[in-house]
Amino acid sequence: MERAQFESIQQTEQTLPEKVAEQISQLIIENQLTSGDKLPNEFELCTQLNVGRGSVREAVKLLVARNVLEIRRGKGTYIADNPGQIDDPLGFAYYPDQLKLAMDLLEVRMVIEPSMASVAAQRATDEDIARMHKNCLLVEEDILAGRNHLPRDKEYHTSIAQCTHNLVAPKLIPIITYSVELFGTLNGNRLLSETIIGHRAIDDAITAHDGEAAANAMRQHLEQNRTELEAIRAEQERKKKSENETL
């Protein structure tokens, strides 16, 4: 009796669309589909998985929400960029003390990114370096033109992770890119010239395949961010103290 109840519970844990979503994910893996590849059409999926159109449509919606698939109107369904990776997978936006979060993110980046830059310098191909260098120049162009450089800044750090050819490194990117965006918001984009200089030093070291120089350049770039965050925190504390004294 207990076994039958247990099996009944197991059977109701997943809905049919969720099961179909898993089957589609397995199909993607087995067929080695990657970002930009087109998924078989709805009719083909129904035939392969032996399910109805409604289940396939609901399963696709689930995978779109998980950033595994993207629907291109009039063209079909494709594998998303960085499948499975969402903008804020760790829920950083919900931390009440964003300055403390920025400091803690930077602490983690100090452990990860210098080593990542060193590995990138050792493994980067000519194509990797060209992509990274292009992103570096685009950041400079945005800064010099007075545009918001943060989207390009995030792409630049992403391209460094891609240079490592490590399967795990790109999955750490949300930690880095959220930190870049948050830092730029907190400091009002004050370290613009320092950003250009720091990026150039990292870019030059990776281009030269000098792992030690790349790690040092990245470390120095992050130390400047840390100094700025500490100054912001001290300024906030002074302001809070002043407000308390006037009460």
Distances in Å between the Cα of 244 and the Cα atoms of 233, 238, 240, 247 are 17, 10, 6, 5
Consecutive 10-residue averages of pLDDT for the chain (247 residues)? 43 76 87 86 91 90 84 88 67 84 94 97 97 96 93 94 92 88 83 93 98 98 93 87 74
DSSP three-state, residue 31: coil
Q: Is the pTM of this model over 0.85?
A: no
172 secondary structure, DSSP code: G
Give the largest Cα separation in the chain, rounded.
Answer: 73
Our separate counts of H helices and E strands in the chain read 10, 2
Predicted confidence at residue 86, as pLDDT, reads 62
Which residues are bridge partners to 79 per DSSP?
A: 69
Give the closest residue to 217 by CA, choosing from 114, 109, 103, 107: 114
Predicted confidence at residue 1, as pLDDT, reads 41
Which residues are bridge partners to 72 per DSSP?
A: 76
Predicted confidence at residue 184, as pLDDT, reads 87
Predicted confidence at residue 247, as pLDDT, reads 64
